[in-house]
């Protein structure tokens, strides 16, 4: 089963902001200088991308060290990481430029078509997972609208960064425009309404599930609205937002906000889009922006850990964070007279699935939203769970509750009888948000350059966003 379909099926904060103060919240201000531990985490996590991504193709693996297949979304993160590495002095501009150009050329030239095998995509979209050697569709994975959007966003950012007259940088810009221009977004609206599908399989056609309710699909709809060649109508945004009240709005655990249980839904679109101070009609009615919404969701995660309704080991106001991540395996175990169910890779989040598995990316990639609680969390995880912190930053997840498998087979990681379970892999889509959101917190780099992208601006304006930097 593909990851997106699996995920689908599977505050203590201060007072609210006024409309006049939107985007000016102190917690969102870039400090310019990072805490040394956060700076180290960012560099180590960047090194993972640089070391595991093949130079000639740019096919960043979904996970390593297993290197099972490439994740198209992780490639979008990698393309965003290279300029961050240049700006921080970890690689040269020439190194980053060449890696970026190789990636752009690969995806531009990769075969597209309706066949089930031997192609990388269709109708301009790309398959969720690709074979590491050929770049062709991996297994029976879906043609993914969201993973395509994440890749395209990374390409558009690279095009904004590599703005010099050098012929390779000019080619990067041309290829980014060409890849984006050939995505046929209206084709992904097969339901007779404005909803965008999650994907398509050549064997069975369009996936039944559509994008609705607040989640990472903000970026999907914005990329579809901003297309210079195959845009969807503005009703795609209003139709999507029309599901917020029934599927997403909550007043539980702190301030009212749009809820999405796993934290990645509050992070992914924000990697490239600076939502501070800009509002669509829905959020204008609520009186705060999507950045503030993610700040409230971050505090709600901390509040959930402090409440700890499941009684899991290790949860506290300093150790928290639930999202989609690896887990020990799929089994039920009696621990201290209480039946506990554990999962392998799964979406996790407050009020939904929780098996005691904490993912450092849930907190670390929320640093731009609420650094005052994220930085202490990152430090606490490092101090209390040193087994999770390595040369490449944090391993994907850990679970202090599971200290004995009871004879059940682990699908990932290992168990220590005192410290519990810890993953043995890094996932690209969990590593990327850490590097990117730390940089947005520090220097505003990705947000600043993407504010100048005409396609993103067009998408936001067609969605009805006004105010803030859009007025400049």
> For the segment 390-433, what is each residue's pLDDT rounded down to a tens digit?
999 999 999 999 999 999 999 999 999 999 999 999 999 999 99
Residue 2's pLDDT is: 39
Q: What is the pLDDT of residues 111-123, one digit of tens each?
A: 999 999 999 999 9
**Of the listed ranges 28-37, 143-152, 451-460, the one predicted with least confidence:** 28-37
Q: What is the pLDDT of residues 226-238, one digit of tens each?
A: 999 999 999 999 9
Distance separating alpha carbons of residues 273 and 447, to the nearest angstrom: 6
Query: Does residue 253 carry a pLDDT above 80?
Result: no
Q: What is the pLDDT of residues 55-84, one digit of tens each?
A: 999 999 999 999 999 999 999 999 999 999
Distance separating alpha carbons of residues 349 and 193, to the nearest angstrom: 30
Residues 6 or more apart in contact with residue 59 via CB below 8 angstroms: 53, 70, 75, 106, 130, 132, 135
Question: With bands split at pLDDT 50, 70 and 90, how would you rate the model's confidence at 252?
Answer: confident
Residue 33's pLDDT is: 84
Question: With bands split at pLDDT 50, 70 and 90, how would you rate the model's confidence at 11?
Answer: very low
For the chain, the average pLDDT equals 93
Question: With bands split at pLDDT 50, 70 and 90, how would you rate the model's confidence at 13?
Answer: very low
Residues 6 or more apart in contact with residue 299 via CB below 8 angstroms: 11, 12, 13, 254, 255, 370, 373
Domain boundaries, the chain: 23-30+248-472, 53-246
Question: With bands split at pLDDT 50, 70 and 90, how would you rate the model's confidence at 472?
Answer: confident
Q: Annotate 363-386 with b (16+ C-beta within 10 A) or e (fewer).
A: bbbbbbbbbebbbebbebbbeebe
Residues 6 or more apart in contact with residue 174 via CB below 8 angstroms: none
C-beta of residue 126 within 8 angstroms of C-beta of residue 144: yes
Would you tell me how many other CB atoms lie within 10 Å of the CB of residue 106? 18
Strand 143-144, strand 199-201: pairing: antiparallel
CA distances, 252 to each of 147, 163, 297, 299, 463 (Å): 30, 45, 10, 11, 28
**Tokens (6 digits) for 81:** 């990481």
Would you tell me how many other CB atoms lie within 10 Å of the CB of residue 109? 10
Distance separating alpha carbons of residues 288 and 323, to the nearest angstrom: 24
Distance separating alpha carbons of residues 320 and 304, to the nearest angstrom: 8
* DSSP element (H, E) containing 340: strand 338-342
Residue 234's pLDDT is: 98
* Closest residue by Cα to residue 447 from 272, 276, 216: 272
Query: Does residue 19 carry a pLDDT above 60?
Result: no
Q: What is the pTM of this model?
A: 0.94
Question: With bands split at pLDDT 50, 70 and 90, how would you rate the model's confidence at 31?
Answer: low
Strand 426-427, strand 249-250: pairing: unpaired
Count the helix, strand and coil residues of the chain and give each as a percent rounded to the nearest 5. Answer: 45, 10, 45
Q: What is the pLDDT of residues 162-211, one digit of tens each?
A: 999 999 999 999 999 999 999 999 999 999 999 999 999 999 999 999 99
Residue 8's pLDDT is: 37
Give the relative orientation of helices 428-443 and 36-52 as an angle to the nearest 10 degrees. Answer: 140
Fold designation for 23-30+248-472: Glycosyltransferase (1.50.10)
Distance separating alpha carbons of residues 125 and 139, to the nearest angstrom: 17
Residue 22's pLDDT is: 41
Q: What is the pLDDT of residues 348-387, one digit of tens each?
A: 999 899 999 999 999 999 999 999 999 999 999 999 999 9
* DSSP element (H, E) containing 144: strand 143-144
CA atoms within 13 A on the CB side of 210: 16
Query: Does residue 241 carry a pLDDT above 60?
Result: yes
The CATH number of domain 53-246, selected from 3.30.450.40, 1.10.3720.10, 1.50.10.140, 3.40.630.10: 1.50.10.140
Distance separating alpha carbons of residues 381 and 370, to the nearest angstrom: 17
DSSP state of 265: G
Distance separating alpha carbons of residues 153 and 149, to the nearest angstrom: 6
Residue 396's pLDDT is: 98
Q: What is the pLDDT of residues 86-134, one digit of tens each?
A: 999 999 999 999 999 999 999 999 999 999 999 999 999 999 999 999 9
CA distances, 156 to each of 89, 189, 273, 278 (Å): 22, 23, 12, 20
Residue 17's pLDDT is: 38
Share of the chain above pLDDT 90, in %: 92
């Amino acid at each position: 089963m593909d990851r997106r379909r699996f995920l689908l099926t599977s505050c203590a904060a201060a007072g609210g902001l006024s409309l006049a103060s939107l985007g000016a919240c102190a917690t969102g201000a870039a400090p310019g200088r990072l805490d040394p531990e956060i700076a180290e985490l960012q560099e180590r996590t960047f090194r993972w991308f640089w070391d595991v991504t093949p130079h000639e193709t740019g096919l960043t693996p979904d996970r390593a060290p297993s290197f099972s297949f490439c994740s198209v979304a992780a490639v979008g993160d990698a393309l965003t990481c290279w300029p961050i590495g240049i700006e921080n002095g970890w690689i040269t501009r020439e190194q980053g430029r060449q890696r970026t150009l190789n990636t752009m050329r690969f995806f531009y030239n990769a075969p597209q078509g309706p066949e089930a095998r031997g192609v990388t995509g269709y109708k301009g979209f790309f398959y969720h997972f690709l074979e590491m050697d050929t770049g062709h569709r991996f297994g029976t994975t879906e043609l993914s609208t969201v993973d395509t959007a994440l890749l395209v966003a990374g390409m558009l950012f690279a095009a904004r960064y590599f703005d010099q007259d050098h012929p390779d940088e000019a080619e990067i810009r041309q290829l980014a425009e060409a890849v984006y221009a050939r995505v046929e977004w209206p084709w992904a609206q097969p339901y007779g309404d404005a909803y965008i599908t999650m994907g398509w399989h050549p064997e069975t056609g369009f996936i039944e599930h559509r994008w609705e309710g607040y989640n990472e699909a903000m970026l999907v709809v914005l990329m579809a609205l901003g297309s210079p060649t195959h845009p969807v109508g503005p009703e795609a945004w209003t139709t999507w937002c029309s599901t917020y009240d029934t599927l997403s709005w909550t007043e539980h655990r702190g301030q009212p906000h749009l809820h999405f249980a796993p934290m990645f839904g509050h992070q992914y679109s924000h990697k490239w889009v600076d939502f501070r101070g800009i509002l669509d009609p829905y959020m204008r009615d609520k009186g705060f922006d999507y950045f503030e919404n993610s700040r409230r969701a971050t505090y709600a995660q901390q509040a959930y850990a402090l409440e700890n309704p499941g009684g899991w080991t290790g949860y506290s106001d300093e150790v928290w964070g639930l999202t989609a991540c690896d887990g020990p395996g799929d089994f039920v175990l009696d621990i201290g007279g209480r039946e506990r169910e554990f999962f392998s890779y799964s979406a996790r989040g407050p009020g939904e699935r929780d098996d005691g598995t904490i993912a450092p990316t849930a907190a670390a990639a929320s640093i731009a939203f609420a650094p005052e609680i994220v930085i202490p969390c990152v430090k606490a995880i490092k101090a209390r769970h040193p087994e999770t912190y390595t040369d490449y930053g944090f391993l994907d997840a850990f679970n202090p509750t599971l200290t004995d498998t009871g004879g059940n087979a682990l699908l990932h990681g290992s168990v220590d009888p005192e410290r519990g379970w810890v993953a043995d892999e890094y996932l690209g889509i969990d590593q990327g948000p850490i590097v990117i959101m730390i940089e947005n917190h520090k220097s505003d780099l990705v947000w600043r350059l993407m504010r100048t992208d005409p396609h993103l601006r067009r998408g936001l304006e067609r969605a009805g966003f006004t105010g803030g930097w859009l007025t400049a």
